[in-house]
Amino acid sequence: AQTVTQSQPEMSVQEAETVTLSCTYDTSESDYYLFWYKQPPSRQMILVIRQEAYKQQNATENRFSVNFQKAAKSFSLKISDSQLGDAAMYFCAYRSALSGSRLTFGEGTQLTVNP
């Protein structure tokens, strides 16, 4: 079974600075997808960024980028120019290409942005 681990329960960053959230996963599969979701206090899960395992290029969405290291099974999220609205719980998630839409989530990292 696949597992996803987020080793940082809490992180904090100053507004306008950069922060990196860590995620590692365990799988024996070669074809899969990785995601970062954000859950603000409203509890609505919002997709931040996704990465296809077959793509070597790291995904980027505006201020959000990932460092995908397939051999190391590592998938970190970098948030640049942090904003107060980035404060939320961040979840790393794995989806196999063989198991439909089933997502396996990490434990989450609570991000605080200080003004």
Binding site for other proteins (CB under 8 A): 33, 35, 37, 42-47, 50, 52, 91, 97, 99-108
- Shortest Å, Cβ 81 to other proteins: 24
Q: Which is nearer to other proteins, 101 or 115 (CB)?
A: 101
Tokens of residue 101, six digits: 């839409």
Q: Bridge partners of 82?
A: none
DSSP E strand boundaries for 1-115: 3-5, 10-14, 19-21, 24-26, 32-39, 46-52, 60-61, 64-69, 74-79, 88-96, 104-105, 109-114
11 forms beta bridges with 111
Do the Cβ atoms of 97 and 63 come closer than 8 Å?
A: no
Q: How far is the CB of 115 from other proteins (least distance, A)?
A: 27
User: For other proteins, which is the closer residue by CB, 4 or 13?
Assistant: 4
Q: Which residues pair with 25 in a beta bridge?
A: 4
Q: Which is nearer to other proteins, 42 or 62 (CB)?
A: 42
As measured in angstroms, the least distance from the Cβ of 114 to other proteins is 24
Our CB check for other proteins shows the closer of 14 and 60 to be: 60
Tell me how far, at minimum, the Cβ of 14 lies from other proteins, in Å.
Answer: 28
